[in-house]
């Protein structure tokens, strides 16, 4: 810590450190507000699921911790964008930028400080997006799926019969583990419309979830399968070592959540279109952190009567357009509409063009004014 302080004192001036401190304070404030909004929204969603019995109440805070960590890679780019804009907007309204310019600090130096600050945050975002967040989402996904299975089996009691909600299944288990994931001496009767009924007997059974599709299965071991009505000539009996029964199909949303939870190395090794789209999405959060911070420099420069929050609405509009274009491109790459090598590159190039226009807008206006003065004289 002392070495970092000595390096910053030696190579960077007081004004540079002052700018970074202002950016950091606003970043902390904005991130806290956005994070609290996210946590409150997700907490209300988990409470609603627990209230209807779809989720055990004892895993809510664990799931909330994983979700809040996973949201940081999405919140930090927006928070950095708003932090730079609000900090420079406050300094512009208080004429601090004018005083700084009078002291010999050029716009290039101000831009350099923003790049250094946003680059440091972009490094943190990259660490989160490529390493920490996939691990957290993977843990959340597994915990959430097993918690839903536990909630679905909460009504099971050892030594009693239980029917499914639609009445198609009749289930019995002599012994049931404490976590209600493993059973012994199982009897299952399945009634099917216009088809012969099925009866399963098994010595052991357990619940399992396919990590790829999210399908929920009941795995039966060492048992018999009976098909048909008693007394029929075509009554069949089959012995099995292991048999899987599909309880519930996974939703498409669960497949997308599982895709987000895959590690970066796994996505790169598989190399499918959906994997490339996910990798580009993670990389885009790093790139957009720097690009949006540079755009914030121009949005912070408002006229004296406009106030320090004049650029807030355009900033939110730019972020919405930027993130939606990235989301659309992600879907296009996943479906093969555009090539993965192009991917989100065109979106970042478009925003860089907008950035260059904003930086050179005074020169463009001066050129147009000179051109208008010259044309009437001709």
Structural tokens at position 233: 């000539």
CA–CA dist 300, 26 (Å, integer): 14
**What was the pLDDT predicted at 151?**
57
CA–CA dist 235, 190 (Å, integer): 15
Mean pLDDT over residues 355-367, rounded? 80
Lowest model confidence (mean pLDDT) among 128-132, 158-162, 234-238: 158-162
> Given a cut of 90, is residue 46 above it in pLDDT?
no
Instruction: Answer whether residue 203 is part of any domain.
Output: no
Lowest model confidence (mean pLDDT) among 156-160, 190-194, 332-336: 156-160
CA–CA dist 106, 57 (Å, integer): 56
Average pLDDT, the chain: 81
The number of beta carbons lying within 10 Å of the beta carbon of residue 313 is 10
Band of residue 4 on the pLDDT scale cut at 50, 70, 90: low
CA–CA dist 95, 91 (Å, integer): 6
Backbone angles phi, psi at 136, to 5 degrees: -65, -40
Instruction: Answer whether residue 72 is part of any domain.
Output: yes
The number of beta carbons lying within 10 Å of the beta carbon of residue 104 is 8
> Smallest Cα–Cα separation from 91: which of 124, 113, 76?
113
Instruction: Answer whether residue 34 is part of any domain.
Output: yes
Domains of the chain: total: 1
Which range in 148-162, 213-227, 280-294 is most confidently predicted, on average pLDDT?
Answer: 280-294
231-236 own/partner pairs: CB under 8 Å, 24+ apart: 232/196
Residue 169 and residue 160 in contact, taking contact as beta carbons nearer than 8 Å: no
Residue position matching structure tokens 């399963």: 200
Instruction: Answer whether residue 29 is part of any domain.
Output: yes
> Given a cut of 70, is residue 90 above it in pLDDT?
yes
Instruction: Answer whether residue 224 is part of any domain.
Output: no
- Which domain does 52 fall in, by range? 2-150+256-377
Residue 237 and residue 226 in contact, taking contact as beta carbons nearer than 8 Å: yes
> Smallest Cα–Cα separation from 327: which of 285, 377, 269?
285
**What was the pLDDT predicted at 158?**
58
Instruction: Answer whether residue 166 is part of any domain.
Output: no
Band of residue 241 on the pLDDT scale cut at 50, 70, 90: confident
Lowest model confidence (mean pLDDT) among 99-103, 165-169, 272-276: 165-169
Band of residue 177 on the pLDDT scale cut at 50, 70, 90: low
Instruction: Answer whether residue 163 is part of any domain.
Output: no
Instruction: Answer whether residue 235 is part of any domain.
Output: no
Lowest model confidence (mean pLDDT) among 135-144, 185-194, 294-303, 332-341: 185-194
**What was the pLDDT predicted at 344?**
87
């Amino acid at each position: 810590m002392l070495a970092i302080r000595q390096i910053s004192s030696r190579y960077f001036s007081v004004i540079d450190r002052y700018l970074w401190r202002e950016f950091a304070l606003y970043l902390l404030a904005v991130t806290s507000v956005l994070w609290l909004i996210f946590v409150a929204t997700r907490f209300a969603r988990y409470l609603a699921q627990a209230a209807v019995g779809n989720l055990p109440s004892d895993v809510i805070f664990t799931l909330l911790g994983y979700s809040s960590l996973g949201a940081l890679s999405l919140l930090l780019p927006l928070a950095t964008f708003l932090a730079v804009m609000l900090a420079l907007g406050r300094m512009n309204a208080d004429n601090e930028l004018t005083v700084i310019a009078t002291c010999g600090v050029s716009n290039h130096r101000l831009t350099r400080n923003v790049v250094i600050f946003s680059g440091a945050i972009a490094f943190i975002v990259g660490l989160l997006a490529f390493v920490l967040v996939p691990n957290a989402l993977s843990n959340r996904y597994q915990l959430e799926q097993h918690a839903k299975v536990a909630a679905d089996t909460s009504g099971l009691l050892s030594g009693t019969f239980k029917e499914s909600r639609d009445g198609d299944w009749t289930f019995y288990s002599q012994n049931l583990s404490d976590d209600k994931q493993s059973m012994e001496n199982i009897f299952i009767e399945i009634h099917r419309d216009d088809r012969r009924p099925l009866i399963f007997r098994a010595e052991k059974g357990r619940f399992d979830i396919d990590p790829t599709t999210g399908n929920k299965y009941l795995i039966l071991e060492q048992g018999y399968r009976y098909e048909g009505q008693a007394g029929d000539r075509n009554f069949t009996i089959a012995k099995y070592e292991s048999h899987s029964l599909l309880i519930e199909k996974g939703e498409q949303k669960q497949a997308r959540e599982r895709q987000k939870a895959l590690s970066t190395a796994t996505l790169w090794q598989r190399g499918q279109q959906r994997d490339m789209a996910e990798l580009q999405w993670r990389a885009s959060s790093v790139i957009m952190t720097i690009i949006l911070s540079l755009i914030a420099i121009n949005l912070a420069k408002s006229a004296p009567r406009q106030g320090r929050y004049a650029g807030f609405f355009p900033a939110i509009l730019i972020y919405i357009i930027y993130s939606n274009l990235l989301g659309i491109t992600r879907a296009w790459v996943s479906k093969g509409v555009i090539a993965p090598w192009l991917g989100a590159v065109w979106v970042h190039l478009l925003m860089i063009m907008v950035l260059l226009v904003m930086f050179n807008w005074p020169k463009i206006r001066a050129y147009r004014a000179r051109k208008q003065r010259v044309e009437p004289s001709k």
